[in-house]
Structure 1
């Protein structure tokens, strides 16, 4: 019974992947050769290939050289943003919920060369230090059904943005100008709004939560958010003037411990339930009013095992929103970390050997499709099939399809 169920599932995954790539490739490519190369590349990314560069992927799929994949990524004529739109539509069709969230974060690809587009000595979140790397801001869509990337940008540092010769060699389009990482997230949010992506909150870490322009964008468009913020975020003080958000904790602690903290889970991680102590205080952000009908709340999250470890979140939500809803949204932020991990470790998100603007976007977007297929496949698994796979639905995705 178990073996038959496993075989039936594998056959259905194969059939669904073939149908998905055929449906997307049809309008995307005018010739059959790139259509087939596209389908082969998605399948190879999903396979158990040690190093997912064009040569090893081509060898796995049975190509005599990497030429077909290299042509697909570089010289073939097709619209990569149309593929991005297809990825989003596929994710929303299967995982979309009215209470879903969009999560912004960036990840980095460490590189040895200096010619690859966007490579510079810059902060790398993976190592928490300055590295020669590319940085890519990403958007994940997450709901109770699952989570996957739906949008992407390549961060172009200022030295790159203002160097015409370097831009030309890397194929950077003329319309691309320098944008900070929060500005790139604003650009992606604008696209998600235009696409009617259903979400209740934007979630992000303090690198984005501290940006007043990103917060203002959300206020102007009446968007909810729950974003981590730094301890020096300026708030209007009770007695006038301003104070850093860190003083809120000092003030509530001075009232005594009773009733201040509420122990709650903010979701399930790889090690089980993530349980913290939480406190919430209504605040006024200095120089920034919330949208009509909305209010600002500071959430303070304290480690249950190490009380000195504290993180602050700023929530912009409808007046009267219950605390558990805001805590749940804060906990969803980690879904993009899982996508980053799975994209890199399972699908070769940063294992590309391309150097130019267009091939970079094509590789990353095709990888996004592969990750979306895994997320949708896992969401559709019956409970007993999860037991067959030996994994929980909230843990690692299905790693590969058969050759």
Structure 2
């Protein structure tokens, strides 16, 4: 990054500074973000203040942890900038979560819980992340803390950590994600399809909420999820004894997603070029109806979920032997390559998580409060958006014209332009 980056940052931050509407905060915000971007391994408040020189620790700490200001205008400004950079009706909104390892038990939301980035259960904070992306370039626009039961069952503990009254309720990660998706939609940001892993996709209410919002989606699914073939019929059997049945039932029993695809033809599909050549895996797909409708008691007294809407069930077999399953409401005429390219576009959020932690100190915040954590996370996202704007500018990439409707072209756009933006998608952030 060239020596003029700080002057460029001051110009770029103008909408954010204007949103703060306060002279002192207008100084602290650029100083904090410059500290995140600047040199130094540790990006917590004390070392950043020491390196800056012009801003004291107390001022910087007060700004992020205790100052009375609303982050919503800055979040809105971030969404607007992100939309200008990567918003596209052929793009994606990627839902995931990321873990921040922590010691002790006092930092807000910390608890032993599964951390996907670590591949194990660890003492950590878990944040639901929202990333706007197109042409394999991500810009993260949302990080919201998930509170486990050990917190939501303890009002005093939440109060000590400054959890706002309206957030002191038990919400699942899919429920938090839907709130964030609604915020992105309300902002007018452009995207064509929602992507998520099985931690979200295995939730029937999450998928149904996306469909209710007329969104296209492609999400992970548990291999154990029961599904019906697309041509399942609902019948009204005549009871030979007892009371007459009141509801229709499927004419076939459901099977797991894994079993449903076991007999399908698996094809080698390449979806983009990686650093070591084309990325390929074996994929198979068929139309199904997920067993996530209302429950009925069957003739043998079992409770069984009824078929939902018709969707794509997709399987992926990796060279390691690992198998993954997905479900998508892309149109019935979508090709297998289109399905694969859409599903695999989710990788950009993992790149964003890594760079936010390794380069911008997302996991370096040492405060314990709800407000401080979310403000620090917001500052890291603004810093990341700034760096992405410079890289796009340096690479000479111009946004393609937006499509007027979100159709299957959103994924063919990805499949047809597989070469990543070198400085943004395949390399670590350059040192300053």
Structure 2 length as normaliser, TM-score? 0.82
Given that 2:86 and 2:133 are in contact with CA atoms closer than 8 Å, whether structure 1 keeps it comes out as yes
The answer to which of 311-320 and 328-337 deviates more is 311-320
Given that 1:346 and 1:399 are in contact with CA atoms closer than 8 Å, whether structure 2 keeps it comes out as no
Given that 2:93 and 2:194 are in contact with CA atoms closer than 8 Å, whether structure 1 keeps it comes out as yes
Distance 1:145 1:121 in 2: 33
- Deviation by residue 1:192-246 (Cα, 9 ceiling, x = unmatched): 1222222211111111111111011012122111111111111014661111100
The answer to which of 90-99 and 272-281 deviates more is 272-281
Say which SS state the counterpart of residue 232 (structure 1) adopts: coil
**What's the Cα RMSD here?**
2.2
Distance 1:104 1:297 in 2: 19
Say which SS state the counterpart of residue 217 (structure 2) adopts: strand
Pairing 1:268-307 to 2, within 5 Å after superposition: 268-269=273-274, 271-288=276-293, 295-303=310-318, 305-306=319-320
Distance 1:376 1:142 in 2: 13
Match of 1:248 in 2: 260
Match of 2:300 in 1: none
Consecutive unaligned residues of structure 1, counting only runs of 5 or more, are 1-5, 253-259, 385-389
Cα 1:268/1:345, change in 2 over 3 Å:
farther
Given that 2:282 and 2:317 are in contact with CA atoms closer than 8 Å, whether structure 1 keeps it comes out as yes
Given that 1:37 and 1:72 are in contact with CA atoms closer than 8 Å, whether structure 2 keeps it comes out as yes
Match of 1:201 in 2: 193
Match of 2:101 in 1: 110
Distance 1:180 1:159 in 2: 13
**What's the CA shift for 1:23?**
2.6
Say which SS state the counterpart of residue 284 (structure 1) adopts: strand
Distance 2:164 2:58 in 1: 25
Pairing 1:333-372 to 2, within 5 Å after superposition: 333-372=346-385
- Deviation by residue 1:179-202 (Cα, 9 ceiling, x = unmatched): 011111111111112222222111
**What's the CA shift for 1:127?**
2.2
Distance 1:141 1:90 in 2: 11
Pairing 1:35-184 to 2, within 5 Å after superposition: 35-63=26-54, 65-144=56-135, 146-176=137-167, 177-184=169-176
Distance 1:272 1:91 in 2: 30
The answer to which of 310-319 and 340-349 deviates more is 310-319
Given that 1:266 and 1:330 are in contact with CA atoms closer than 8 Å, whether structure 2 keeps it comes out as no
Figure out how many residues of one structure are paired with residues of the other and give that number.
375
**What's the CA shift for 1:53?**
0.8
Cα 1:272/1:47, change in 2 over 3 Å:
farther
- Deviation by residue 1:13-44 (Cα, 9 ceiling, x = unmatched): 444311122331123132x2221111011111
Cα 1:224/1:170, change in 2 over 3 Å:
same
Runs of 4+ in 1 over 6 A off after TM superposition: none
Cα 1:144/1:172, change in 2 over 3 Å:
same
Cα 1:347/1:43, change in 2 over 3 Å:
same
- Deviation by residue 1:371-392 (Cα, 9 ceiling, x = unmatched): 11112221222369xxxxx955
Given that 2:221 and 2:325 are in contact with CA atoms closer than 8 Å, whether structure 1 keeps it comes out as yes
Say which SS state the counterpart of residue 278 (structure 1) adopts: strand
Cα 1:214/1:124, change in 2 over 3 Å:
same
Pairing 1:258-269 to 2, within 5 Å after superposition: 260-269=265-274
Match of 1:396 in 2: 427
2:16 aligned to which of 21, 24, 38: 24
Distance 2:351 2:190 in 1: 21
Match of 1:316 in 2: 329
Cα 1:300/1:107, change in 2 over 3 Å:
same
Asked which structure has the greater CA Rg, the reply is 2
Structure 1 length as normaliser, TM-score? 0.87
- Deviation by residue 1:273-299 (Cα, 9 ceiling, x = unmatched): 3211222211111235777xxx51112
Cα 1:146/1:222, change in 2 over 3 Å:
same
Distance 1:191 1:268 in 2: 33
Say which SS state the counterpart of residue 318 (structure 1) adopts: coil
1:33 aligned to which of 24, 48, 69: 24
Distance 1:180 1:186 in 2: 10
Say which SS state the counterpart of residue 70 (structure 1) adopts: helix
